[in-house]
Amino acid sequence: MAEPAPPSSATGPILVCGLGHVGTCVVRLLRRLGLPVVVITRIAREDWLRSARSLGVKVLIGDARDSNLLLEAGLMTAAGLLAVTDQDIVNIEIALDAHRHRP
């Protein structure tokens, strides 16, 4: 029988990497649930950026594979990270980079 996972000590936001169609839907859902969110995105439609910011989301513009940007977004205390760019290989790189800092 597997042991239950220890309770999470993460108190920070959920990081959403990518603000395309999927990222925008995820952000809206997370905010509807009352969860804090920080977005990292290279590019996004202006209306999606405005929508995210109007929901109280902090948006950082840049590449989520940049370790400094992940740390600035709050990786070390994040409750979770969702890589939802439109490029699978980039999503994998983001996950690996984040795991390197916070296994």
* The predicted structure's pLDDT at residue 26: 98
Strands 80-83, 14-17: pairing kind:
parallel
* The predicted structure's pLDDT at residue 4: 39
Mean pLDDT of the chain: 92
What pLDDT digit, counting tens, does each position of 52-99 carry?
999 999 999 999 999 999 999 999 999 999 999 999 999 999 999 999
Q: For residue 55, which of 86, 91, 14, 83 has the smallest C-alpha distance? A: 14
Around Cβ 76, how many Cβ atoms within 10 Å? 11
What's the predicted TM-score (pTM) here?
Answer: 0.89
Is residue 61 within 8 Å of residue 42, measured between CB atoms? yes
Q: For residue 42, which of 13, 14, 19 has the smallest C-alpha distance? A: 19
